[in-house]
Structure 1
């Protein structure tokens, strides 16, 4: 292993640790834990996922209806209107914004979208 590779790995670990210590990451983790601890929200998540799965199966079979889509959307709206879920979604969006800034900072000197394309081999 070259010294350069070792240094890059070290920088990657440092970056990961810095992200983990960032207030927006910490807020996201706290909001996520609150969602996971809320039994009512967990029940709404289960109901939403079940309706979404049923709708996706119906769509694959060519049997999806507008009514089915409206049920999925209503369940999602109900879930997203829960205060703990609203806080989670906001924290998630803020974290994603920070991660996009980091991606841009890494990608700029490389002339490649590091987070979006660097891992793939063949893009058209």
Structure 2
């Protein structure tokens, strides 16, 4: 019995819906919303993005210094140490781990790991 592309797409949608109901996904969504609702976290995110943009601009002109790097790293560390952000990062890691396991299960009967394939063909 041959499965059509539309049947496979429907199975994919069903899989996505099932994933959306897992505790890992629900935890991730709750943590994401908590970060979005936290004014202090949003201010730190904006600060990190501003410092990252400054660093990239300085690097492109050859004017980047260790001070740029240190400021950016310090701001990132402050952001990541916030309870709300720490939970978000942990939830994101747990969800990513779950999705990688699902990808391995899908890829197992195939001759290629689509999640890990970066391009190229036929290298043994």
Q: What TM-score, normalized to structure 1?
A: 0.91
The residue number in structure 1 matching 2:12 is 12
The residue number in structure 2 matching 1:83 is 83
How many pairs does the alignment contain? 120
Q: 1:123 aligns with which of 112, 120, 124?
A: 120
String of CA shifts for 1:94-120, please: whole Å, max 9, x gaps: 000001001111111112122243xx7
How far apart are 1:53 and its partner, in Å? 0.8
Structure 2 CA distance for aligned equivalents of residues 3 and 99 of structure 1: 24
The residue number in structure 1 matching 2:41 is 41
* Maintained 8 Å contact 1:27/1:91: yes
Structure 2 CA distance for aligned equivalents of residues 28 and 76 of structure 1: 20
Q: Secondary structure at the match of 1:112?
A: coil
How far apart are 1:123 and its partner, in Å? 2.1
Q: What TM-score, normalized to structure 2?
A: 0.91
Structure 2 CA distance for aligned equivalents of residues 55 and 41 of structure 1: 21
String of CA shifts for 1:58-110, please: whole Å, max 9, x gaps: 11111111111000000000000100000000000000000100111111111
Q: Secondary structure at the match of 1:110?
A: coil
Q: Secondary structure at the match of 1:72?
A: helix
Q: Which runs of 5+ in 2 are unaligned?
A: none
Structure 1 CA distance for aligned equivalents of residues 109 and 94 of structure 2: 24
Greater helix fraction, Structure 1 or Structure 2:
1
Structure 1 CA distance for aligned equivalents of residues 22 and 83 of structure 2: 23
